[in-house]
Structure formats: structure tokens, C-alpha cells
Amino acid sequence: MLEITDLVTEFDSVKALNGITFQAKPGLITTVIGANGAGKSTLLRTISGLERPTTGSIKWFDQELTHKSVEAIVRSGIAQVPEGHAVISQLSVAENIELGGLFRRRIARGDLAIATREVYELFPILYERRNEPAGSLSGGERQMLAISRALVSRPKLLLLDEPSLGLAPLISAQIINIVNQLCRSTGLTVLLVEQNANTALAVADHGILLSLGKVVADLPAKIMIADSSLRAAYLGY
Amino acid sequence: MSKVKTHKIIGLRSTLLAIVFFIFIILLSNQFDAYNQSQLTNIATLLIAVFSITLLTGASGQISLGQGAIMAVGGYSSALLVTRLGFSMWISFILAIFISALFGLFLGLAAARLSGPYLAGTTLVMALAIPSIAVRFEGFFSGDVGLSVDYGNPPDWLTNLLGEISIEVWSLYVVLPFTAIALFAVLNLSNTRTGRTWRAVRDNEVAAALAGINIGRTKVIVFVCASGLAGLAGALYGFRGLVAPSVYPTDLSLTLLTAAVIGGLRSIGGAIFGTFAIVFLPDLIEKITKNFAIPENIGTYLPALTIGLLLLITVILNPRGAAGALEHLRHRKRH
Amino acid sequence: MNSFLTALFSGTAQGAIYALVSLGLVLVWRGAGIVNFAQMGQAMFTTYIASQLIQHNYSYWSAFVIALVSGAVLGALVDLGLMRPLTSRKNSQLLNSQSMRTTIPVIASLGILGVLKALAGILWAGEERGFPSPVAPNAIKIGSTNLAITGFDLFVIGVVFLTLVLTTIFFTKTGMGLAMRASALNPEVTRLSGIKVGSVRTLGWAISGTASSLAGLLVTPRTNLSPNTLDLLLIIGFTAAVVGGLSSLAGSVLGGFILGYVISFVNVYSAPENVFIAILAFLLLALFIRPQGILGSKEVRNV
């Protein structure tokens, strides 16, 4: 269980997160939605350690993550797929995937090979293009690669930052579906940040609605999707 | 708008400061013996070159490790004008400014395309290569031997006015007006629109470009101004007696940078402090170590060690230099 | 014909050394965004260590190995003790400006250079001394004809070639090599992959220190050793790195060899006093024609 309590993150004394509290249950998809600037990305970046919170705490089961380094957080089983299909374009597809499991190469070499095979099965196109530079991939393929890089680290919690950003609806639906299947079949916990609330809520179990750095609604996804007044007030449609 | 600018260029404050500086140095020189008077002349000369670094690095963020080489350009220009073409010393100084500025223009055109470390490396190569040109074209530049030039003798009207003047004092009298004018110029520059434009480029090139500042042109202009200053310093430096490659070694460039850094890259007062420090520090160290039995080889390298350590300590503990530390103290008192 | 061969062979041997220096500079530049002007000061220092050991009757090879190791240690120390704290500090006002963030490390590296030179002077006197080579610097003979290449040249070329092969294997075939490339290209994604980018960066400094230390050991049998001997090598290495492309490891090696040939041909066909001017001219030419270098990519330069 991911427990976030009274989280505050500031940039030059502007509070991007202003006291966030919620929980994400294991094995489920929790989606964080909200308008531009609501603090969604900052939330994920604070969980993964890229931003330092001013106050508050982040706990993954009984592990305190709040002041750990990015590397230590990844090594404790929390992988982030950052915004904008973050892959290293000068490296090949295979190298990008290898990078994700690099820190485990001494402790779990055998499992690394299995994990790599699994992501290639999940995204066969990546296997076909494994020797090409990641920069030559299409936007959707890059997102698949970014997710694969995270998956080979065998995360227990996957933080996805706007995976559908800039992708064609069909492709983003495909990617979200794969994440959904993964969650259901392996028990992976997913925290999905999305601007496209409908797509996200359609697969999610639980919805968190952010506005101006605060949680304004914390509801089961089914209820949130039906609440048109909530959407009108905070998302504008 | 142009009215505002004119008003600021003839700023009262900078005029006063320049005059105060001038009088201060004169008074100080009266207290000194001949050796320290010539050290004071060195300070007044090198200060102009350190100002060029304050301008370049402190105001616009470009780094040059080759100001010594530009000093050489100024030195050779004026020395050649005097020895080969019979120009008067004073006119040769003025022309040296323009020739070095022209050189700075070419350099600036190359430098505008370069950022940080590229510029640093290129100017370092320049610091090494330019003095060697004098050796290469020995017939014209007199090679390693160099060109002998000096400040000459004080004119009669001055000796009539002040009585007999030693050569050390006369040297100071030649250099000091230029230093005061340079001080006046850099003080003004930092307060005008131009100065603000430069600082904007230093702080954030992208933002400056978005605000409509022509980054390339600004960098070139800064380089031209700084080169003119360094060239003037080089000319004055050479007329102490000799213009030769050994007078403008690579270490000179690094010494100038050190002075600017330990004083505070962004501050003109800091430049003055830093220059005093690097000129008098070796003397001070010698005075202290004379009382101890320190082997000669250690004594030789002690000033270099101290200056290197000072540079490191400044960068680590207080990158804004002595001037920054002072400001910090003042700030704390007020609260 | 014979002078052409002389220029070619000595150019290869010199170029091999320049390639090491340039490689060292590029390693640190890619990893940390810093051009380390103290690099050859570090190498000078470790070569003095080797020289001292040899004077105290250690064998050449044990001194050689110890110098390389101390090169690595010194490189790592510079990063851990100075560069890392300098670049990680965020709140200092001076470092808030873009250009100052690149300027301050340059100044810091010059400070290290000054301190190392002064320390070497204090510890081992300023006098120039010779440095031995394991191979006699005589021309190789076949029958009675002297070839244009010396045994020492061959030794240098062999050692550097081996080093380059090992470096290539390290970067392309090992996980640590991949981690180093990734950290240089995109530190954030690399950290999110669980890799300690800071440690990887320190390793880069260590490898760079080793490479330049090796360059010092290989060049001083010819130039002798003094606190200032290796300054020129830094200048040449920097030019080589710019010519080849500061962002490219392969480019830096290529640039080293190009500079080797340029300098060697200027030496043979023109005059030694033209070398400095040739370097400056070559550098300016490279900057005007292809500022990103032969193998460099454009975007990296503006970061």
C-alpha cells in the first residue's frame, strides 16, 4: 500500500503540492487526474525522489521513502515512467531495456533475462527494432520502450506520468490496455497520472482528483466517472 | 530616453569614485618606498586588465583565460608604434586600445559561437600561442629579446610644479590617469542599459534572447570593450621597460583571473581588492617566511600555492569573492 | 621520403598520446559537463610519484602501475572533494546564473592546477628531471638501415592501442560502460533506472585520471619532467577534443591522432616554433567550420 500523508512540495516557495493525503491500494490501478498545473507530475516526481518534499511523508507498506534517493527508491521496487516518452534516444532499444535492469544484474541475472523476454513478448515491435537507436522509434513505440525499461526492474509499484500525452487515441488506448492487463495478471500496483480523465478512469479502480496542489475528490473510479458536476467543476468538461 | 542615458554616463557617483581612487593611490604612494611605489604602478596597470575580466566574466558571463595574450597585443602594438614609427608614447597607448579592440572583435566573432569551457580552452590556447608569434616572426617583433620601451622622463612643467620626481613616481603618474578613466568607464557601464543587457545575457541566454536582446552581438561588444581595456593594460605594462614574450606568459592570464575571482567576479571593488592581494601577497609571504628557516624551494612555490589555495577556497566557500562576503556581512547586520 | 615517414611515424606515436589526453577530457566533459583544466596537472603529479618510486629503486613497471592507480584516485578525489559539492550547491546566488555554473568549475580546476604545480615544486623541487622508458628510444634497425620509427614509438603506439581497445570493450560490452554512457546522455532517466549517477560520474573522473596519467608516463621520457611540462599537452588535448567533438569519445581519439599528424608534419616540414600558431589556427578553423567537432552532435554543446 502506498500511503501519502500531508505532502507539500515547493518550488521557490510556491506550493506545487499543498498537503496531499491519499492511499493507493496494492494490485489496483489508482489514477490521479486534474487540469494542467494541478500538481500531478510534481506528485509523481516527489514519490520517485526527483523532487524533495518540504513536509509530509511517503510510505510504501512499512518503508519510509520520504528522504531516500531516487536510486534507492527505484531499488526498493518503485519505477517511474516519466512524462514525454523518456528514453535515451542515442542508445539502442535493447540498451534502453538493459539499462532498466542494470542495477539487478549481479543479484538476479537469470530473472533479468526472463524479464527482458517478457517485455519483448508484451511489445513485439520492440524486439523487431531492438538494434535500432531509440530515437528512431515512433511516439507510441517510445512510450512502450519507456514502460519496458521500467518493467525489467520488476517493480511492485509503477508510476506512469501521462503515457497518452501526444499519442494517437488508438495507440494510447492500446498502451493503457496493456498496463491494465499487467496489473490484473501480475498484481502490479499502478499509479497512473492522466490528463485524459475518461481513458484513465475507464481502466482505473480508484480516482484521485487534484486541483491546485490539493486533493479535491478521492472516490472509486466508477463513481467519479459518473459525477458530471465534479468533472465540470475541475476539468472543464 | 537618450537623455536618461547621457545623464547616467556622466554619473556623478562614478566620477567621484574615480577621483577618490586617484587621490587615494597618490596619497598611498607618498607613504611608500621606491619598491612599493613600483608595485603600486603594477597594481594600477594590472587593475585595468582585471577590470576587463570583471566586465567579461562578471558582467556577461564569458570566461577568458587569455587576457594576458590580449595584453601582449596591446604591448606589442604600442611598442612597435613607438620604436618603429616614432609615435609618442601617449598616442601609442590610445592606438593600442583600438588595435586590441579590433583584435577583440575578431576574437569575439569566434567567441560568440562558443560557450563556457570552449571559450575558456580557446583563450587558453591563445594565451600560449600569441607570445610565440613574436618568436616566430623574429625580424618584426624582435623575438625573445623583445622591444625596449620606457615611460621616458617627466616633462619640465611637471618637475617645475612638483620638484624632482623619481622614475617610480613618474611611472605611477603615467599609469594612474588611465586606471582612473578605466574605473570611471566600468563603473558607468554597469549602471547603464548596456550593463543590464550584458547581465541579462550572463544570467540566462534564452530569456535574454526572448526579451529581444541580440546575444551574439552583445557578446562581441563585450569582447571588444574588454579587449580594449586589456590592450591598454598590456601597453602600460610593457612600458615598464620591455615588451617581450616573457613579459606576457600564460601565468599572467591566470593571475589576472585569480585576482578577479578572489575579489569577487561581479564587483569592481572586488577587482581592486583582488589586484592588491595578488601583487602584495608574494611580498607579504616573503616577509613572513623570512622569520622562519624555510628551504628555498618551498619559498619559491609558496606564493603560487597560496594563490591556488585562495582560488579554491574562494570557489568552494564563497564564490562571490571578497566583495560578496562583505555584502553578506552588511546584509546580516542590517537584519 | 624518409622525412615523410619520420613525420608519419612520430605523428602516430604523438597522436596516440594526444588521443589519451583528449579522451580523458571528453570523458569528464560528457559525464559532468566540466572541462578539467587540471587534468594534466594531475598527470604531472602522478608522473612525479612514479619518478620518485623509480629513484627509490622500484621497478619501472611497479611505478607505472602505481602511477596509474594514483591517477584514478586523484581523479576521483577531485570529483568527490570539489566538483560534486560545487555543482550540487543550488542556493548560492552566483551559481544561479547559467554561465556562472559552467564558469565556476573551470575556475576551480585552474585552482587545482595551481595547487598541484606548487605542491610538486615544493615536494620535488622545480628542477627538470628525466623520466625513464622501458624501451630504448633508438631507431629500429633492419639489417643496417635505420627505420624511421623508434622502439619507444612502437611501445607508445602499442600501449595506447591496447588501452583504446580495452576502453571500447568497457563502453560497449559491459553494464558499467552502458551506465556511463546513459548517465552522460540523460542523467534523469538513468537515475530513474536505479543507477547511482553520482558514483558513475566519479568513476568517469577516475578513468580520465588514469588515461591522462598514462599519457604523462608515455610523454615524459621525451620531454623530461617539471611542474609545467604537461601544460602543452593539455592545450593540444583540448584542441584535439574540440576538433573531434567534445561530445564523442571516438571523436576525441580521432582528434588526437589528427593533431599528432598536424604537429609532427609542422615540425618536420616547417619549424618547431610554428607549432603553437598551427595549433591555434587549427583550433579556430575547426571552431568556425565545424564547432561541434567531426563526430560530435550539435545539441550537446548548448546544454
CB C298 within 8 Å of CB C251: no
What is the grid cell recorded at C152? Answer: 619507444
Report the gap between the CA of B19 and the closest CA in chain C (Å).
30
Q: Which residue of C has its CA nearest to A105?
A: C175
Residue B169 covered by a domain? yes
Domain that holds residue C131: 15-135+146-231
CB contacts, 8 Å: C79 with chain B: none
Residue C191 to residue A50, Cβ atoms within 8 A: yes
| Per-residue pLDDT at B132 | 80
What pLDDT shows up at residue C301? Answer: 36
CA separation for the pair C99, A209 (Å, rounded): 40
For the residues of chain C, what is the DSSP string, one character each? -HHHHHHHHHHHHHHHHHHHHHHHHHHHHHHHS---TTHHHHHHHHHHHHHHHHHTT--HHHHHHHHHHHHHHHHHHHIIIIIHHHHH----TGGGSHHHHHHHHHHHHHHHHHHHHHHHHHHH-S--B----SS--PEEEETTEEEEEEHHHHHHHHHHHHHHHHHHHHHHHSHHHHHHHHHHH-HHHHHHTT--HHHHHHHHHHHHHHHHHHHHHHHHHHH-B-TTTTHHHHHHHHHHHHHH-TT-HHHHHHHHHHHHHHHHHHHHHS-GGGHHHHHHHHHHHHHHH-TT-SS--SGGGG-
Mutation site for B-interface testing, chosen from C27, C34, C94, C112 by largest number of B Cβ within 10 Å? C94
- pLDDT, tens digit, 9 for 90 and up, residues C269-295: 887 778 888 888 888 888 778 777 777
Side by side, the strands of the sheet bearing A55-60 are A14-24, A2-11, A55-60, A63-64
| Cα(A147)–Cα(A134) distance, integer angstroms | 13
Percent of chain C with pLDDT over 70: 89
Task: Give me the pLDDT at residue C91, please.
Answer: 47
For residue C137, what pLDDT is reported? 67
Q: Do B128 and C103 touch (CB under 8 A)?
A: no
Cα separations in angstroms, C13 against A91, C165, C216: 33, 16, 14
Specify the pLDDT at position B326: 76
Q: Dihedral of the CA atoms C46, C109, C208, C9 (nearest 10)?
A: -80
> Smallest Cβ distance to C194: which of A74, A82, A88?
A74
- Which partners does chain C have (≥3 C-beta pairs < 8 Å)? A, B
Chains within contact range of chain A (3+ C-beta pairs < 8 Å): C
How far is C264 from C256, CA to CA, in rounded Å? 12
Q: Which of C185, C190, C193 sits opposite A90 (nearest CB)?
A: C185
| Structural contact between residues B283 and B302, judged by C-beta atoms closer than 8 angstroms | no
Determine the pLDDT at residue C80.
Answer: 92
Give B-chain residues touching C112 at CB under 8 angstroms: 308, 312
Classify residue B306: in a domain, yes or no: no
Domains of chain C: total:
1
- Domain for residue C74, yes or no? yes
Cβ-based contacts of C84 with chain B (< 8 Å): none
Regarding chains A and B, contact by 3 or more CB pairs under 8 A is answered as: no
* pLDDT at position A63: 87
Q: Which residues contact C164 (CB under 8 A, 6 or more apart)?
A: C19, C23, C253
With residue B202 as reference, give the H or E element that holds it. helix B193-203
How sure is the predictor about C99, in pLDDT bands with cuts at 50, 70 and 90?
Answer: low
Find chain A residues with C-beta within 8 A of C182's C-beta. Answer: 88, 91, 95, 99
Q: Is the pLDDT of residue C237 over 90?
A: yes
Is the pLDDT at C208 greater than 90, yes or no? Answer: yes
What confidence score (pLDDT) does residue A93 get?
Answer: 95
CA-to-CA separations, C66 to C71, C145, C224, in angstroms, rounded: 8, 38, 19
pLDDT of the residue at C303: 31
Report yes or no: A103 at the C interface, CB cutoff 8 Å.
yes
- pLDDT tens, N- to C-terminus, chain B (335 residues): 344 444 455 577 777 888 888 788 778 777 777 787 888 888 888 999 998 998 888 777 778 888 889 999 999 999 999 888 888 888 888 999 999 999 988 888 877 767 667 788 888 888 888 878 887 777 788 777 778 888 877 777 877 777 777 788 788 888 888 888 888 888 877 777 777 777 777 777 777 777 777 777 777 888 888 999 999 999 989 888 888 888 888 888 888 888 988 888 778 888 888 888 888 888 888 888 777 777 777 777 888 888 889 889 888 877 777 777 777 777 666 55
Q: Do chains C and B touch (3 or more CB pairs under 8 A)?
A: yes
Query: Could you state, in order of their start, the residue ranges of all structural domains in chain A?
Result: 1-77+156-237, 87-154
What does the pLDDT read at residue B7?
A: 47
CB B67 within 8 A of CB B254: no
> Residue C53: inside a domain, yes or no?
yes
Q: Is A50's Cβ below 8 Å from some Cβ in C?
A: yes
Domain range for residue B36?
2-248
Confidence at residue C3, expressed as pLDDT on a 0 to 100 scale? 79
Q: Which one, of C209, C223, C217, C206, lies nearest residue C159 by Cα?
A: C217
Please give the backbone phi and psi of residue C205, each rounded to the nearest 5 degrees, phi first.
-60, -40
Is the confidence at residue C31, as pLDDT, over 90?
no
Pairing of strands A214-220, A206-211: antiparallel
Quote the pLDDT of residue B4: 46
Residue C108: which of B128, B304, B312 has the nearest Cβ? B312
Contact residues, chain C, for B266 at CB < 8 Å: 94
Average pLDDT over residues C14-29: 93
Helix (H) or strand (E) holding A3: strand A2-11
CATH number 3.90.1640.30 is the correct assignment for the domain at A1-77+156-237: no
- CA-CA distance, A51 to A48, in Å (whole number)? 8
User: Is C281 part of a structural domain of the chain?
Assistant: no
pLDDT at B66 (0 to 100): 86
Q: Would you say residue C29 has pLDDT above 70?
A: yes
C29, closest residue in chain B (CA to CA):
B117
User: What is the model's pLDDT at position C259?
Assistant: 93
pLDDT at C95: 56
Chain C closest-CA separation from residue B329 CA (Å): 15
Positions of E strands within A143-182 = 157-161
Please check whether residue B125 is in contact with residue B268, taking contact to mean a CB–CB distance below 8 angstroms.
no
Distance separating alpha carbons of residues B55 and B101, to the nearest angstrom: 14
Q: Do B128 and C288 touch (CB under 8 A)?
A: no
- ipTM for the whole complex: 0.91
Interface contact C303, partner A, CB < 8 A? no
- Least CB–CB distance from A102: residue in C185, C193, C297: C193
| Contact in structure between C18 and C233 (CB atoms under 8 Å) | yes
Contacts for A199 with CB less than 8 Å, ≥ 6 apart: A164, A172, A173, A176
The verdict on a CB contact (< 8 Å) between B297 and C122 is yes
- A99 and C186 within 8 Å at the Cβ level: the answer is no
* Among chain C residues, CA nearest to A101: C193
> Chain C residues with CB inside 8 Å of B60's CB?
99
Q: How many domains does chain B have?
A: 1
Give the residue ranges of chain A where pLDDT is below 70.
Answer: 236-237
pLDDT digits (tens, 9 = 90+) for C157-207: 999 999 999 999 999 999 999 999 999 889 899 999 999 999 999 999 999
Say whether A81 sits in a helix, a strand or coil: strand
